[in-house]
Structure 1
Amino acid sequence: MFSLQSAMLSTTERILHQCTAATTVRARSTVSSIEVPGPKCYPLIGCLPSMITDKDFDKECVYRYFMKLFKLYGPIVKVKFPGQPTMVLVNKPEDAEKVFQLTMNNPVRVTMEALRKGRYINPYYEKKAGIVTENGEEWWRVRSKVQVPVLKPKNVINYLKDMDQVTLDFLDRLSKLRNSEGEVTVDLKEELTKWSLENVCLVALNRRVGCFDPNLSPGSQPEVIIKAAQDFMKAIKECETGSKLWKIFPTKTFKQLQLSMQKLTETCETTVQEMETIMREKETADPNCQLNMVEQLIREPGLTQKDVVTFMVDLLPGGTETASDNAAVILYLLAKNPRVQARLQEELDHVLGDGSEVISQNQLAQLSYTKAVFKESNRLMPPMFGPVRILQEDVELGGYTLQKGWLVFLMNALSGWDEAQFPRHSEFIPERWLRHRPLGQIHPCAIIPFSHGTRMCVGRRIAEQELYVLVARTLHRFNLEWKHGDLERAYKFVFSPKGPLKFTFNERK
């Protein structure tokens, strides 16, 4: 997703009202002549004047500004920010679905410019930036090869036993980090990052790296991987949402991105070489031996070793950050909603029994309320605003003509807060996702935290599995409490929890 904060400062209702006349024009105009409504746009500076005088604007809560726009102009709004192409904000799931349909054959999105540049100037990558940031033929060349092994349920299930053990080890560690009242004495966000990275390393590196070791020495492999993954995501956020001076000269943050990417690349390249040696031995002993996910990628015709390394490098920090943030939100909402927590525990007690056995595929399939909790958490506190598409041709949407080259920003997060889409939208009600849909039908594009179609997050099944296991094991063992104020989240590329997270974990009796 591209930067909005670099162009946004604030807005004012006075200027927003300047375009209300467009609503009247829309009612009596033909489809082809209707101007997409939005705040007044000026040459060079675009909609900037409509933002810089808004006393309520907060760059970390930019969604409030978007909500104002939708309230004033309707579900499709045009905006223009300095240095950015014209952008159309879309709020209705029905319109999002149509955009996906219209762009399904060539889903082009805004690239991570800093990551792209970092790889293009690094000879190792040979002018190939990977599926996270490429578009067109190069993106599809790799995406078409990796999606089957990575999204195949059987391949993901093969990691279930190890992911279960990672979570059990994580909870054992937390139990030792509590005070006499059961409150965890460290920032849970940091611990969740270690939990998530340990899970991702099971897939990307085919091994555990020891993130929970309390005595990690500086320079040890786990410490290097942890720091590199964290620095990588931090640098990406800063480069994509900051001043972008890195385009002119190598800033400190851009150098941090290059350094962390280099360390991850070296780690993944060494791993691939080791796995190739092991595979040759396995295949010599048994030509029909089962290969793990990364081994299948290595053997995939049309993928080079560097393609696999690039994919692994993206998976390590990307999968870590999104899963840990998502986990924090789910645990917070459960801690704040004792009724939901109790119902979830009823399901877990029934399915897991005493919890002494490894969680099985069959048990995971029975956790319908657990999965509903996951969906409702992503509705109420979504990980990001939603997908972006760059139009490759003119399209008709909602009675307007959207032009080739425009950005269409599918504001999926705001759909989740719309009473018309979700009755009692401010309440945490996982039951709304159960099969009988007690609060009404839900549009399939109303909540899509992993995007949709061929540009859907390729690590979706991995992330879902590790989060289901975390919720199941945590709530089966503990009662959660949150004794502080409301959890705040900042928006910088994605939504991330602010401040230290202090939960109370009390053993269930």
Structure 2
Amino acid sequence: MVMAVILLLALALVLGCYCAIHRHKIGATYLKPLLKNTPLEDCYHATPVVPEQQKSRRRRSIWDIPGPQRIPFLGTKWIFFVFFRRYKMTKLHEVYADLNRRYGDIVLEVMPSNVPIVHLYKREDLEKVLKYPSKYPFRPPTEIIVMYRQSRPDRYASVGIVNEQGPMWQLLRTSLTSSITSPRVLQNFLPALNAVCDDFIDLLRARRDPDTLVVPNFEELANLMGLEAVCTLMLGRRMGFLAADAKQPQKISQLAAAVKQLFISQRDSYYGLGLWKYFPTKTYRDFARAEDLIYE
């Protein structure tokens, strides 16, 4: 009985999503013929008349920004669902390039929690936002990181500068960025980063096919290069991720796999339904396991 109710609810949700997305097509195909030759036929074509002066006075809001159709409890995330087959989460660069073509240089994305996300594509618009004077700018946090770190106060004093808001963000920013971004500090790191880049080039030469000159699994190697650079900067030592011949120690391989899983879980939590907020789904368990491995 319970399974039947769940199945009916799922079917109703899918049907509701389809009707909301294709409402114009459904209206023209099914509703219009039903109203033909009836007193209500004119109502189908009726549009509210708004005086031009009233139109000009109306202040446009964030919800007037063009973007995919919003659906209650799903926002615009339905575009990634398998049964719509419109976009793939593994090719997000193609997704946002297509949204730019469809809706223009300013596109609205809406989270299932009804939080609006505005995507800017023009450099001039990006400059306006970045140069806007604001002591406490708001940036939607990575929710799965916030939830996990708040559940472990024994490990984390905050959710991190990327996810904090308000006064705490301002405190972390003033404490960290001055030392990280100073020219003197950056100049001291350049020799170590140059060595990382040289090892990365040597690794690519060793892994590329001698006939086609194609480097297999280039994305994985690029991820290792980024991880090596981060560890060099943050820990002050080389980890050996870019070793071309020597077999990596097990801990090194586990750390690389955990970092990769961390990004996969963040992606799935952001573009999924967000069920991990209510009970520990596989996405949340994989994320927590990766965080624990990196911390330990």
The TM-score, its normalising length taken from structure 2, stands at: 0.67
**Post-superposition shift, 1:252?**
2.1
1:212 is matched with: 242
For residues 45-95 of structure 1, the C-alpha deviation after alignment (integer angstroms, 9 at most, x for no partner) is 6876x979xx8942544332353233xxxx666675643135556565555
**Post-superposition shift, 1:212?**
2.2
Tell me if structure 1 keeps the 8 A contact 2:259–2:290. Answer: yes
Matched, 1:232 2:232: no
Tell me if structure 1 keeps the 8 A contact 2:74–2:273. Answer: no
Aligned partner of 1:58: which letter?
A: Y
**What is the CA–CA distance in structure 2 between the aligned matches of 1:27 and 1:151, rounded to whole Å?**
52
Matched, 1:65 2:99: yes
Root mean square deviation, CA, Å: 3.8
Structure 2 vs 1, CA of residues 39 and 25 (structure 1 numbering), >3 Å: closer, same or farther? Answer: farther
* Corresponding residue SS for 2:154: helix
1:192 to 222, 225, 242: 222
**Post-superposition shift, 1:233?**
1.4
Structure 2 gap segments, 5+ residues each: 1-16, 26-46
Greater Rg by CA: 2
1:255 is matched with: 285
For residues 221-256 of structure 1, the C-alpha deviation after alignment (integer angstroms, 9 at most, x for no partner) is x22321222121122111222222211111222122
1:171 is matched with: 201
Aligned partner of 1:121: which letter?
A: S
**What is the CA–CA distance in structure 2 between the aligned matches of 1:47 and 1:114, rounded to whole Å?**
18
4+ runs deviating over 6 angstroms:
24-27, 39-43, 45-48
Structure 2 vs 1, CA of residues 138 and 169 (structure 1 numbering), >3 Å: closer, same or farther? Answer: same
Structure 2 vs 1, CA of residues 58 and 154 (structure 1 numbering), >3 Å: closer, same or farther? Answer: same
**Post-superposition shift, 1:114?**
0.3
Q: Which has the higher helix share?
A: 2
Aligned partner of 1:219: which letter?
A: Q
| Identity fraction in percent | 23
**What is the CA–CA distance in structure 1 between the aligned matches of 2:204 and 2:74, rounded to whole Å?**
50
**What is the CA–CA distance in structure 1 between the aligned matches of 2:69 and 2:152, rounded to whole Å?**
39
Tell me if structure 2 keeps the 8 A contact 1:121–1:127. Answer: no
2:142 is matched with: 112
Structure 2 vs 1, CA of residues 161 and 148 (structure 1 numbering), >3 Å: closer, same or farther? Answer: same
Matched, 1:136 2:166: yes
Tell me if structure 1 keeps the 8 A contact 2:228–2:239. Answer: yes
Structure 2 vs 1, CA of residues 242 and 218 (structure 1 numbering), >3 Å: closer, same or farther? Answer: farther
Higher relative contact order (CA 8 A, sep 6+): 1
Tell me if structure 1 keeps the 8 A contact 2:136–2:170. Answer: no
Tell me whether 198-207 or 162-171 shows the greater mean CA deviation.
162-171
2:39 is matched with: none
1:157 is matched with: 187
For residues 360-390 of structure 1, the C-alpha deviation after alignment (integer angstroms, 9 at most, x for no partner) is xxxxxxxxxxxxxxxxxxxxxxxxxxxxxxx
